[in-house]
Amino acid sequence: MNSFMTVWNPLAQMEEEKRDHDAKMKKMETEMEQVFEMKVREKKQKLKDSEADLQRRHDQMRKSLSQQIAELEERQETFEKEKKQWEQLNNITLEEMRRRSLEANSKDFFDSPSSDETLLSESSSLFDSDKLMNTFSYKKQLYGLYPPDSYTDQAAATASDDVANMQIDGVMRSARG
């Protein structure tokens, strides 16, 4: 009779539909909450796993760097010992050798008669006479072959000019030949 009444009673039918709808909504809400909680748990687990992985990598990297530092310190210590032994064996420090080398190189550059020839050989084109004379005038001033303005001794001035001219002649011959 209830179902018969429901068919004939629209209010009862609406109430029953409302109850069914509310039950269905409650069930869907519960399912959605369960899915949400499950997803939250999965995300938290992913974060924990990721954090653990990052921590493991960090520890591994730290260990590797510690080993590298120890190895470098050992190498540096070995190098310093070998350097000290070499210095004692040769009775000279590396700093002293560097200083001597720099001094020798600077003297070689300024004292070398071939520096004029090097200047010419590095040039890709032949010097015209004006350029050549300007270059050698500069070289004479650089090497101190020109007498200073306050020079009064004519013999010294002539001698330095003769030396400079001989150098110029030698360079010009080597440039032509």
Kindly indicate the confidence band of residue 132, based on its pLDDT and cuts at 50, 70 and 90: very low
146 in Cβ contact with 140 (< 8 Å):
yes
Would you state the pLDDT for residue 149? Answer: 46
Mean per-residue pLDDT, 36-54: 97
The mean of the pLDDT values for the chain is 76
Q: pTM of this prediction?
A: 0.39
120 in Cβ contact with 175 (< 8 Å):
yes
Mean per-residue pLDDT, 42-67: 97
167 in Cβ contact with 117 (< 8 Å):
no
Interatomic CA distance for residues 142 and 172, integer angstroms: 19
- For the chain, the domains span 2-90, 111-176
Would you state the pLDDT for residue 15? Answer: 92
